[in-house]
Amino acid sequence: MPTALITGASRGLGAEIARQLAPTHDLLLGGRPSAELDALATELDGASTFAVELTDHEELEGATEAISELDVLVHNAGVGSSLEKIADTPVEEWQHVLGVNLIAVAELTRLLLPALRAARGHVVFVNSGAGRNARPGWAPYAASKFGVTALAQALRGEEPEIRVTSVFPGRIDTDMQRDIVAIEGDEYDRSRFLKPATVAAAIVHAIATPGDAHPEDIILKPTGRG
């Protein structure tokens, strides 16, 4: 079977992507070492863990050396930001958010390009509506996601043998979303948000698209009817 590496796979959307890809792919489950990641690997019999701190570039390089061929790379790992105005956002917040959401993504892609070229593989960037529209209070997060949009566009032009898909979902019913809503001071109503399984299904469908087509951008917005 083809091999897929999913970052941020220990819970939420990443875990759901893994579950939906498991019947058709050998899986490398990316994430920090944790009981959750190990439990998912046990649940998905045959899956392996890729337990790496993505912002540790030396560790990341060592972990990717053994991957000689890779059919699918799903960039799902990411962090939110503090939702402060630009005037109140310290440089450390910019460094943290951009380091995880953009720089680590670019570096993992670079390290795995030989393996992706060997398989004529597929890179999926799980982006965000914030990668297309920046709202007040979201500057570091949106900047990181706009950066991922640019990264995907450039990669698509530079690597014509590799398919590159950007997925721009609206807000998803996840633990991170609960934290954001709490910061915003609102009550959490999961019906307002996309289900992880719905977003995962769109990603898996893009991956399964026959090779004569290139699914480039996918935009998903919640309807409130879930």
Angstrom distances, CA of residue 108 to CA of 47, 185, 198 = 20, 35, 26
pLDDT in tens, 109-161: 999 999 999 999 999 999 999 999 999 999 999 999 999 999 999 999 999 99
pLDDT at 82: 83
Overall pTM > 0.85 = yes
pLDDT at 187: 74
3-state secondary structure 99-165: HHHHHHHHHHHHHHHHHHHHHCCEEEEECCHHHCCCCCCCHHHHHHHHHHHHHHHHHHHHCCCCEEE
Which one is catalytic: 138, 141, 146, 168? 141
Find all residues with CB under 8 Å of 195, minimum gap 6, and list them. Answer: 172, 173, 226
The structural domains of the chain, ordered by start, are: 3-220 (3.40.50.720)
Which amino acid is residue 115, in one-letter code?
A
Q: Which two tokens stand for residue 78?
A: 């990411």
Cα separation, 102 vs 16, in Å, equals 22
Query: Over its length of 226 residues, how does the chain's per-residue pLDDT go in tens digits?
Result: 999 999 999 999 999 999 999 999 999 999 999 999 999 999 999 899 999 999 999 999 999 999 999 999 999 999 998 889 999 999 999 999 999 999 999 999 999 999 999 999 999 999 999 999 999 999 999 999 999 999 999 999 999 999 999 999 988 876 676 667 666 666 767 667 899 999 999 999 999 999 999 999 999 998 877 6
Q: Is 141 a catalytic residue?
A: yes
